[in-house]
Amino acid sequence: MSRGLRLEEIASGLPAAAEALRRQGHRLGTSELVDIIRLARSYADLEGRDFLAEDELEMVVDAVVKHRRLSHAIVEELRRASSSSRFRERVERLESEIMAGLQAMGAKPGWRVSKKKVSRRGREAIAAYMMLRSVGAIQGRPGRERVADAQSLRSLAYTLARQGVESLREAYLSKPSRGGRERRLMEAESGLAPRLAELDEKGLVELGWASMRKGNARLLKDVGVELARRARTGSLSRVRDAYKIMRRAGALDRETLSLMIASDPSLASAPEADANTIARAVGIAGHERGGEILAKRLREAGPGEAETLVSKVPPEALWAVKSHSLDGWKGELVDAASKAAASLRSALRYMEGGGEGWRELGYSMALEAISRASRIGEAASMGGLSRGAVFGMAETAIAILELESSRPSDPERVYSILSRLSLPAAVKVLRSLYSKASVEEREVLVRSMERLLYKYSVRHGLRLLPKTVLSQRRSPRVDVRRSIYQSIRSGRPSIVYRERLRAGRLSLALDVSSSMIDYSSWAIAVASLFLSNISRLVIFSHASTILEGPLSRREVARSLLSVEFRGYTDISTALEKAAHPGVKKIVAVSDLQQTVDSQPLQLVVRSLHRSGYRIAFITPPSARPEDVEAAREAGARVVTAWTPRQAALGVLRHILRRP
């Protein structure tokens, strides 16, 4: 038998119908069953059938369960208000509006409701329609009020929800027995003269939202003016709602906005708030809350606005910014980090003559910004930090060090600042300071560079790279875990051996020409990570500097600080100078752009290859494909790296050898 409900089961009485519904799995109370049976009979009557399918029955049950409480409340109120002549006039007007809406939708007697794709809104329409019909709001013979299709059913839902239920609510709220606030609310919605000063804050905000929904501009303006008056007296608690209503009403002046920002710091990012408004709000709010307002505004401020804002607020509020996080920048991560660093840099420069407290505040704010930017850049999937972000952070750090003292004499202070930067930005700062430092100060910078190189190698985990590989031949090293796994899997005892890989000696050539300035950190990373393996280091552009190994990290740091990434590229001569008797592996970090009239690179590579040298080039993504292909055809290995870590791994694979 098909699941559903027949009218003969309904006609046989409530117990039989209730039992039929319970067989369908509907565990409902008696009062709900009565409503379901009544609605099911009416729905089947509308359809002209004596049977409700399972999905139709589910629709009816859902409509009753969801809307029984609303329907019951309105029906009871209609019964109590039915003796009022004013109410009868409203119901008659409601009936004419609904019938006009039905006629406008093209509903005619005999049309059927589509059984396909009846949405939740359609089920709500059925419930509202039958509720109104049961109290006589719509007159007509049973079975004659039909809707064309599901689309008309949804349109009917809109009509009933917007016209029917709101009109009934208006009649309900305007009864003399109700309180004064609800009656005034409905009078205001009806366009009467309300006394807004008598409404509490909640009622006033609700009235503002209602006037916005209905498009009542005059009422919205009055509500906005009243909210502005209360904001100036400091009696508002729902500040954000009041701000939205006042903004829509055009009743928001800068003085009122500053008072609202002082009450709710989250409004500091409002587009109407300029530097003067924020400064006034900071002065009203006091130092602690003013610091919260200022921190929120500085997150999104541009360089000019940050400088203007810092010049207008008291130092105590700036000092309070230190206790608030500067996270939450908008926009693309790297670009946002760069903008934040630039904003704080401008503020920092302005604070140069403002006293020790102001400078200390600028240090902490700028360090937090550039530290955040460095972490974002290092987490980027490709390319790392953009050039603009690197230069922005580097200039900020330079400003900090120059404001700290006229010369960088304290190594701990220098390192504490530079350790927050990414390696490219830190190297740029060190080079800038090294060029104008004295002999004693240069030693401080060299020691800072040495510590940075060590920290960089540890942070990227290059010291934890695998030192052994699987071996097919017998070896003193046994992989115990893999041996157990292999024995269990194969069902017979087996032993897996490993053999140690040793990093051999190499000659390293580093390109420091102007085209490699964006990838200078690669050269520094490679040079610092393989110091114990370098037998000869060649630093070249149009000229070459040769350092014989073994090298210390301090020597490499001093050499890299003293050179500048500029000039042309003579890679052919550098490869010839890197060739060292007894060391047959040469690694060159370069973009392969030969810009000096010298021997062709292919001829030099082939000549060294015939002499037994193994050559590898570590190139950045900017290397031209034709140069890369030419180097490979000459017999060299070319590794294109996107990050310093990939560059170091390329070197490691080239120099690893079996014992």
How do residues 110-145 score in pLDDT, each as one tens digit? 333 333 333 444 444 444 544 444 433 333 334 433
Q: What is the pTM of this model?
A: 0.44
Least confident of 114-123, 465-474, 555-564: 114-123
**Which pLDDT belongs to residue 112?**
37
Q: Give residue for tokens 């690694």.
A: 587
Least confident of 24-28, 452-456, 513-517, 536-540: 24-28
Task: Choose between 310 and 487: higher pLDDT.
Answer: 487
**Which pLDDT belongs to residue 192?**
38
**Structure tokens that stand for 146 in this block:** 């039909």
CA proximity to 95, closest of 151, 43, 133, 147: 133
Residue 104 has pLDDT above 50, yes or no: no
CA–CA separation, 252 and 383 (whole Å): 46
Rounded to the nearest integer, the mean pLDDT of the chain is: 65
Cα angle vertex 464, ends 579, 539, to 5°? 25
Least confident of 79-88, 102-111, 531-540, 605-614: 102-111
CA–CA separation, 216 and 187 (whole Å): 13
70-74, 269-273, 294-298: range with highest mean pLDDT: 269-273
Question: Which amino acid belongs to residue 300?
Answer: E
Cα angle vertex 509, ends 394, 468, to 5°? 95
Task: Choose between 363 and 488: higher pLDDT.
Answer: 488
**Which pLDDT belongs to residue 75?**
42
Dihedral, CA atoms, 371, 372, 374, 376, nearest 10 degrees?
170
545 bridge partner residues? 539
CA proximity to 559, closest of 595, 589, 531, 601: 531
pLDDT band at residue 194, thresholds of 50, 70 and 90? very low
Mean pLDDT within 387-402: 62
Mean pLDDT within 55-75: 55
**Which pLDDT belongs to residue 579?**
87
Residue 345 has pLDDT above 70, yes or no: no
Domains and CATH numbers, the chain: 1-178 (no CATH), 468-500 (no CATH), 502-657 (3.40.50.410)
Asked if 377 contacts 337 with a C-beta cutoff of 8 angstroms, the reply is: yes
Mean pLDDT within 361-370: 61
53-67, 118-132, 261-275, 555-569: range with highest mean pLDDT: 261-275
CA–CA separation, 596 and 265 (whole Å): 61
**Structure tokens that stand for 265 in this block:** 């710091």
Integer angstrom CA distances of residue 188 from 191, 201, 214, 439, 622: 5, 15, 12, 81, 69
Least confident of 201-205, 408-412, 466-470: 466-470
Residue 568 has pLDDT above 70, yes or no: yes
**Which pLDDT belongs to residue 133?**
46
CA pseudo-torsion sign 548, 552, 554, 557: positive
Mean pLDDT within 534-540: 85
For β-strands 51-53 and 4-6, DSSP reports them as antiparallel
Least confident of 134-138, 196-200, 235-239, 336-340: 134-138
Task: Choose between 459 and 158: higher pLDDT.
Answer: 459
pLDDT band at residue 210, thresholds of 50, 70 and 90? confident
Task: Choose between 587 and 47: higher pLDDT.
Answer: 587
